[in-house]
């Protein structure tokens, strides 16, 4: 059964009131009320579903699930922990929310859109092979892509699996730049697909997934919470 009562300082941190040290300081300053009563003790237990917590005049509501859009930079691994490299969860450690994980993986050198959440059900639906959720990548290639290679990618190629890849959509963005839309999520899939048609990926960026489009105002390593509209798109199965 999910814990309904939590420490007040933990609840405030999870509602983005600030770091644990900042929250404790502001509790001592009398800036927090629980059910109309000023509370200064950080270890005071609150019922997240029933108690009314007011922080600096703003009522804070409990949220079971949270959703963040991260512009993943190169050199960071898509994992919750790693012994040698920084992880995407390290980049979101100041959110105050625990249990965040990446929905799917981007290679260490691949950049762009990565959804971070604690909603396992949504993650499963987005990653389920049967859902065929669109994933959009922009790739810089070693060589110009031939018409024959485009046709092969759009009909399915052999990347060493039991079956050919599902048909992809290819858009030419420049002499050696393409936008590739796939509906699978196999290991190193984009790189393997281009290698299968005699080419190599020089750089790779994911710009969209399941109807969610990367916010171009986010610099590498930056993140923001999803809007209600963006969450609704994902919860509808990635259909905009």
What pLDDT, on the 0 to 100 scale, is given for residue 64?
A: 79
Q: What is the CATH number of domain 5-60?
A: 3.10.290.10
Question: What residues does 60 pair with on adjacent strands?
Answer: 53
CA torsion angle for 26, 27, 33, 37 (degrees, to 10)? Answer: -140
Q: Give me the residue spans of the domains in the chain.
A: 5-60, 67-128+211-235, 134-209
What pLDDT, on the 0 to 100 scale, is given for residue 96?
A: 64
67-128+211-235: CATH, from 3.40.50.12280, 2.60.120.260, 3.30.70.270, 3.30.70.580: 3.30.70.580
Please answer whether residues 225 and 151 qualify as being in contact, where contact means their C-beta atoms are separated by less than 8 angstroms. Answer: no
What pLDDT, on the 0 to 100 scale, is given for residue 207?
A: 98
Spans of the chain below 50 pLDDT: 1-2, 238-240
Residues annotated as part of the active site: 107
- pLDDT tens for each residue of 176-208: 999 999 999 999 999 999 999 999 999 999 999
What pLDDT, on the 0 to 100 scale, is given for residue 10?
A: 85
What is the pTM assigned to this prediction? 0.79
What pLDDT, on the 0 to 100 scale, is given for residue 240?
A: 44
Helix axes of 147-155 and 189-196: crossing angle, nearest 10 degrees: 130
What pLDDT, on the 0 to 100 scale, is given for residue 1?
A: 37
134-209: CATH, from 3.50.50.60, 3.30.70.1560, 3.30.420.40, 3.40.50.720: 3.30.70.1560
What pLDDT, on the 0 to 100 scale, is given for residue 18?
A: 67
67-128+211-235 and 5-60 share a CATH fold? no
Alpha helices, DSSP H, located in 92-227:
120-127, 147-155, 189-196
What pLDDT, on the 0 to 100 scale, is given for residue 60?
A: 81
What pLDDT, on the 0 to 100 scale, is given for residue 63?
A: 76
């Amino acid at each position: 059964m999910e814990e309904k009562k939590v420490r007040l300082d933990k609840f405030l941190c999870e509602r983005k009131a600030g770091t644990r040290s900042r929250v404790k300081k502001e509790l001592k300053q009398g800036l927090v009320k629980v059910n109309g009563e000023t509370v200064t003790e950080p270890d005071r237990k609150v019922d997240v579903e029933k108690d009314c917590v007011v922080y600096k005049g703003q009522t804070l509501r409990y949220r079971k699930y949270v959703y963040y859009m991260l512009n993943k930079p190169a050199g960071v691994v898509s994992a919750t922990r790693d012994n040698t490299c920084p992880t995407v969860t390290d980049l979101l450690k100041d959110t105050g929310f625990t249990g965040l994980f990446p929905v799917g993986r981007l290679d260490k050198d691949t950049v762009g859109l990565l959804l971070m959440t604690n909603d396992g059900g949504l993650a499963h639906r987005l990653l389920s092979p049967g859902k065929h959720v669109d994933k959009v990548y922009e790739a810089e290639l070693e060589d110009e892509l031939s018409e024959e290679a485009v046709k092969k990618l759009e009909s399915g190629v052999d990347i060493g699996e039991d079956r050919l890849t599902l048909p992809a959509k290819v858009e030419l963005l420049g002499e050696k730049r393409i936008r590739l839309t796939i509906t699978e999520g196999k290991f190193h899939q984009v790189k393997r697909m281009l290698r299968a048609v005699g080419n190599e990926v020089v750089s790779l960026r994911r710009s969209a997934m399941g109807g969610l489009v990367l916010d171009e105002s986010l610099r590498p390593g930056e993140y923001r919470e999803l809007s209600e509209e963006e969450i609704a798109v994902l919860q509808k199965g990635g259909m905009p």
